[in-house]
């Protein structure tokens, strides 16, 4: 028997996690002098976090260490349970090198146990929607092999597009070069970002100005959506009015779509910053990027 495990960078809401019976790893972040573990919204003060960032605080994220992973995965192995871990993009963090070290040690301690790791090649709800569908399959009795086979196809249909308000947040997090951030800010360029087939951050196109960026996101959903049985997620990082506007534009263009709204959590928000807007939906294929960000 295996346990389905994800991490809080999937950004599913905690009530959804509970309904589906999914265990999750809370990912750490630091804001000010305090360290937190993101709990998928159960006790998270989103307003305080974004207010601090807007006031000049520079939040940081950090990788878990091998002992953290050994404690988490080992707690299942010690009970005779295997683990199916559906994780956020390995290309976006060094934490998975620490996971590999932990799994190598655990294999010696528990030779009969197995941890299968599936890379969603995405973050936030781009990963979360894959976790959700995997959980539904598991609850219907699917094996780990059947779930992986489904995800191998499904991950290539997950379309993620987002724009950030201040490119300097991506620059500070190492996701964007200083020159690109400075030039984009100077020219009011809003690169529309996505995740490429390797799970890295890429530019899909560039637009000028915030209004055009919002319309661009809505049009992408309207033109590309094919999986109407899955929700369309509109995410915002402390820009609710613009998020509601974006959701309204999508509903106007695609009234048959089930559009859901959600806030970007502090771990993802530490890198993208306040003012970020994103859409996640199911298309025929993952977006083909214009260029890599770095």
pTM: 0.92
- Helical residues (DSSP H) of 178-239, grouped into ranges: 178-186, 210-224
Q: What is the mean pLDDT of the chain?
A: 91
Nearest residue to 80 (alpha-carbon basis) of 112, 33, 45, 36: 112
Nearest residue to 1 (alpha-carbon basis) of 117, 152, 103, 144: 144
pLDDT 10s digits, 167-183:
564 545 444 444 343 34
Give yes or no for residue 224 having a pLDDT over 80. yes
pLDDT 10s digits, 142-201:
999 999 999 999 999 999 999 998 756 454 544 444 434 334 443 467 889 999 999 998
Q: What is the pLDDT of residue 130?
A: 98
Q: What is the pLDDT of residue 62?
A: 87
Lowest mean pLDDT of 105-114, 158-167, 241-250, name the range. Answer: 158-167
Give yes or no for residue 289 having a pLDDT over 80. no
pLDDT 10s digits, 4-25:
999 999 999 999 999 999 999 9
Q: Which CATH number fits domain 157-292: 3.10.620.30, 2.60.40.10, 3.30.1180.10, 1.10.3720.10?
A: 3.30.1180.10
Q: Give every strand in the sheet of 2-7, ordered side by side.
A: 23-25, 2-7, 82-87, 115-119
- Helical residues (DSSP H) of 58-143, grouped into ranges: 66-77, 95-109, 125-139
Rounded to whole angstroms, the Cα distance separating 141 from 70 reads: 28
State how far the alpha carbon of 200 is from the alpha carbons of 84, 92, 203, 219, 259, in Å: 23, 6, 10, 23, 26
| CATH architecture of the domain with residue range 2-156 | 3-Layer(aba) Sandwich (3.40)
- Work out the average pLDDT over 235-246: 97
- Work out the average pLDDT over 40-63: 94
Considering the chain, tell me which residue range(s) the CATH 3.30.1180.10 domain(s) occupy: 157-292
Contact predicate 277/213, CB 8 Å? yes
Q: What is the pLDDT of residue 172?
A: 54
Query: What are the DSSP calls for 130-156, one per residue?
Result: HHHHHHHHHHTT--HHHHHHHHHHHGG
- Work out the average pLDDT over 30-56: 95
Q: What is the pLDDT of residue 188?
A: 64
Considering the chain, tell me which residue range(s) the CATH 3.40.50.10170 domain(s) occupy: 2-156
DSSP code for 71: H
Report the b/e string of 218-229 with b at 16+ CB within 10 A: bebbeebbebee
* Cα 276-282-288 angle, rounded to 5 deg: 70
């Amino acid at each position: 028997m295996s346990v389905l495990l994800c991490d809080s960078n999937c950004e599913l809401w905690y009530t959804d996690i509970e309904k589906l019976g999914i265990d999750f790893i809370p990912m750490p972040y630091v804001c000010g002098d305090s360290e937190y573990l993101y709990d998928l919204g159960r006790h998270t003060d989103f307003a305080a976090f974004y207010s601090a960032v807007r006031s000049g605080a520079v939040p940081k994220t950090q990788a878990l260490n091998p002992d953290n992973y050994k404690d988490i995965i080992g707690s299942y192995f010690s009970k005779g349970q295997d683990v199916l871990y559906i994780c956020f993009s390995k290309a976006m963090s060094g934490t998975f090198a620490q996971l590999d070290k932990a799994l190598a040690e655990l294999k010696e301690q528990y030779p009969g146990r197995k941890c299968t790791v599936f890379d969603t090649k995405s973050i936030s709800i781009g990963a979360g929607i894959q976790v959700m569908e995997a959980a539904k399959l598991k609850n219907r009795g699917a094996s780990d092999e059947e779930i992986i086979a489904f995800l191998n196809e499904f991950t290539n249909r997950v379309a993620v597009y987002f724009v950030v308000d201040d490119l300097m947040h991506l620059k500070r997090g190492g996701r964007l070069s200083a020159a690109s951030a400075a030039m984009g800010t100077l020219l009011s360029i809003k690169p529309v970002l996505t995740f490429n087939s390797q799970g890295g951050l890429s530019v899909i196109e560039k637009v000028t100005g915030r209004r055009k960026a919002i319309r661009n996101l809505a049009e992408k959903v309207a033109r590309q959506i094919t999986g109407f049985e899955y929700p369309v997620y509109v995410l915002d990082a402390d820009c609710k009015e613009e998020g509601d506007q974006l959701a309204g534009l999508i509903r106007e263009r695609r009234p048959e779509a089930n559009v859901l709204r959600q806030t970007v959590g502090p771990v993802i928000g530490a890198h993208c910053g306040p003012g970020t807007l994103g859409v996640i939906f199911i298309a025929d294929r993952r977006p083909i990027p214009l260029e890599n960000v770095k």
